[in-house]
Structure 1
Amino acid sequence: MTLTTTQSILDQARDAGTATGAFNVIHLETAEALVRAAEDTGLAVILQLSENCLRYHGALEPLARATLAMAEASSARVAVHLDHAEDADLALRAIDLGFSSVMYDGAKLDFADNVATTKRVVAAGDAAGVLVEAELGEIGGKDGAHAPGVRTDPAEAAQFVAETGVGALAVAVGSSHAMAERTAVLDLDLIARLRDAVPVPLVLHGSSGVPDDTIVAGIDAGLVKINVSTHLNAFFTRAVRAHLDDHPAVVDSRKYIDAGRSAVVEEAARLLQLFASPRRVG
């Protein structure tokens, strides 16, 4: 199957009153696991490469090209997305490389500067048929730069979407990045008001810290794209640690990495099914 557009995945989920999983790629093994989860469940998945991940690997192209190749070779509907690019030029390069969508994160900028730079990325995305996600209202916890109590204002969100033309909007509604415990409380009323205020799909970042039932309630309220990274990383790491504890003499890294990959397949599949289950009423 060819690479799937993020737009089509989000449109289908929103029409069904459900959401889709957008899971972060850390290395090739996580990309393989996420594609396998989509194939096992028959559900679409969005593979995300963050600016931080690409900085770790030292360049955009090698990991991006490999991830795109996996998506194109899969029998499942798989999109590839650039996550949290604070560098607008990186977002433009990802568009040129053939990503399904990109997120330009100008949340640290003031409103006017965020709008101006986001519009530049959207213009390039529109020309290439690539959806652009943006962020308004800082999501707590990222690099210690954001306050967890920040919330996205619906009126400001409507203005931002109208002025920029973005295809999806990441909103601050109570979640926080890199949470290891699932204790976050979402503002469901705010999610519903944002859903009514803007015409594009809403994105939840920092979903690793949100309990299952709260995520489902958030989807019912209007969330369409659910980003998960830390939660799946923890499954990978626990499985690797357990394998090493059980096999202290192992030296072939494929053995314990495979244990981590298998754990991610199972949990990613469970999350995809969870996100696809809500049915919004009214």
Structure 2
Amino acid sequence: MTLVASGGILAEQRAVLAFNVIQLEHAEAIVSGAEAANRPVILQISENAARYHGGLAPITLATLELARRSAVDVAVHLDHAEDEALVLEAVELGATSVMFDAATLPYDENVARTAVIARAAQAKGVWVEAELGAIGGKGGAHTPGVRTDPAEAVAFVEATGVDGLAVAVGSSHAMTSRSASLDFALIAELAAAVPVPLVLHGSSGVSDADLVRAVEHGMRKINISTHINGIFTRRIRELLDADAALVDPRKYLGPARDAVALEVQRLLELVA
């Protein structure tokens, strides 16, 4: 068990959780949690995370190495990349899947640019995700209340040739409360119509019970970021508040990493 293709995991599992990596401790925690749950997992690196590290290579290469050393199957995914050059760089670095996000563009331009990226990445054996029906919480077209039209989703997949589709069904990015209201009837309708795996973004705002229901209704890839960031940050805050003399980062980053690992394990077991 090691670094594997994202498409392979999705083909073998009813649903797969994908957690975002911001720094090395995130990647270590996610892999540790997956090993404890004995479940495959996807590690995601966003365009914003690459920018934070001054480039895609440092955090991606470290994450890929952790995946290779894992005792369970781990895939590495580029999340929410709007820059084609970054997508192609991720492919060359060894990412096993990529998301090209042109959802804020006019439909025809989204289709044209996504199709080009899909062909280029798939030629290297890389699974490609795209977005239609913008997810809430990102500004502009990404406004709460947007819903993906099933007929348009089918047409988009056919025109672009993508392997997975992120759909808008009631979740929003960066939610700090787990209070999103998902449209389960729409999820089921999309799952029946769309010939590729459906991806749920903004899953940090979705309750445990609704995550399970989303999978039961047809969601295949579940993206989680803000939720584990909150756990990580709260554990650090507890430790620093308790000891004003604490200066060794390992003494607060380590426990924060452990807290995230436990939550990753719990969530993976929840949707198993």
TM-score (norm 1): 0.94
Q: Note closer, same or farther for the CA distance 1:180–1:4 as it changes in structure 2 (3 Å cut).
A: same
Identity among equivalent positions (%) equals: 58
Query: 1:126: Cα distance to partner?
Result: 1.4
1:1-12 mapped onto 2 (5 Å cutoff): 1-12=1-12
Q: Name which of 64, 86, 93 aligns with 2:89.
A: 93
Q: Which residue in the other structure is 1:135 paired with? A: 131
Of 106, 111, 117, which residue of structure 1 is paired with 2:107? 111
TM-fit CA distance, 1:7: 0.3
Q: 1:206 aligns with which of 197, 202, 208?
A: 202
Tell whether the 8 Å contact from 1:28 to 1:67 is kept in structure 2 after alignment.
Answer: yes
Counterpart of 1:25? 21
Matched residue SS, 1:142: coil
Question: Which residue of the other structure, out of 242, 262, 272, is the alignment partner of 2:268?
Answer: 272
Instruction: Render the CA deviation track for 1:140-183: whole Å, top value 9, x for unaligned.
Output: 00146511011000000000001111110000000000000111
Which amino acid in the other structure matches residue 268 of structure 1? V
Partner of residue 212 from structure 2, selected from 212, 216, 230: 216
Q: Deviations over 1:16-54 (max 9, x none)?
A: xx3111000010000000011111111001000000111
Q: Please name the residue that 1:167 is paired with.
A: 163
- Displacement after TM superposition at 1:247 (Å): 2.3
Distance 1:145 1:255, change over 3 A: farther
Moved more, 248-257 or 139-148: 139-148
Q: Which residue of 1 aligns with 2:175?
A: 179
Instruction: State the 1:2 CA deviation.
Output: 3.5
Query: Separation in 2 of the partners of 1:253 and 1:23?
Result: 23
Greater displacement, 240-249 / 182-191: 240-249
CA contact (8 A) 1:134 1:166 kept: yes
Runs of at least 5 residues in structure 1 that lack an aligned partner in the other structure: 277-282
Give 1:41's match in structure 2, choosing from 37, 41, 52.
37
Maintained 8 Å contact 2:30/2:261: yes
Cα displacement string for residues 187-215 of structure 1 (whole angstroms, at most 9, x for unaligned residues) = 00100110011111000000001111111
Aligned partners of 1:223 and 1:30: how far apart in 2? 24
Q: 2:50 aligns with which of 54, 70, 90?
A: 54
1:260 aligns with 2:256: yes
Q: Does the aligned pair in 1 maintain the 2:34–2:41 contact within 8 Å? A: yes
1:126 pairs with 2:122: yes
Letter in 2 for 1:189: A
Match of 1:228 in 2: 224
Could you say which residue in structure 2 is the equivalent of 1:239? 235
Q: Given that residues 95 and 124 in structure 1 are in contact (C-alpha distance below 8 angstroms), is that contact kept between their aligned partners in structure 2?
A: no
